[in-house]
Structure 1
Amino acid sequence: MAMFSNWIRDAREHWKEHLPKMYSEYERNGVLQQKLEEAAEQTFDEVYDLERSGISPDEAWQMVRERYLFLPEEKSYSLAKYTKTKAQNAPFFMPINNAVNCY
């Protein structure tokens, strides 16, 4: 795994900052290092395959890195975010005298 040490280090930092729930769960279950190594191996395998098919190393890296190492940020779901106030639930009415002529 020394070959992937930079990728693993960078992915660990990314996961901790942008995927805190997943990171904590993996850490709690004792599989964080294993998951990081698997992500690095999968990234390497796909980059290698793409390079063998004629894609440049940089292009291959750009195409693959977000599939395993730099996953999209977790979305935070807050009930407060999805709870509307009475004013937000009220139907929208615009007085006719304030309407804009669209012609």
Structure 2
Amino acid sequence: MTLHGLASIYANTGKIEEAIAHYQQSLEIKESIGNVQGQAATLAMLGQLLAYNKGDFVTALKYLHQSLEIFQRIQSPDAETVRKIINDVQKMANG
């Protein structure tokens, strides 16, 4: 099982702090080995967790924008999904 997968399990079972910690560890490893698509996916998951579960919209949007930038750079169709998530989070942040 990967750290990203373990983080997803923690998130799905409501263990948000554990999920965040494992996503952050996963991100560090993906950065160190140059896995940019994996970085983008993990950044998106971190952003969603922070926005929807912690209400930390500033940090969430930072991660989501980083994810979007990577997905756009590698021309991934996931860029559109992240763009929609950013719009949702911005609406939540603005009340």
TM over 0.5: no
Q: Which has the higher contact order (CA 8 A, sep 6+)?
A: 1
Report which of the two has the higher share of helix.
2
TM-score, structure 1 as length reference:
0.26
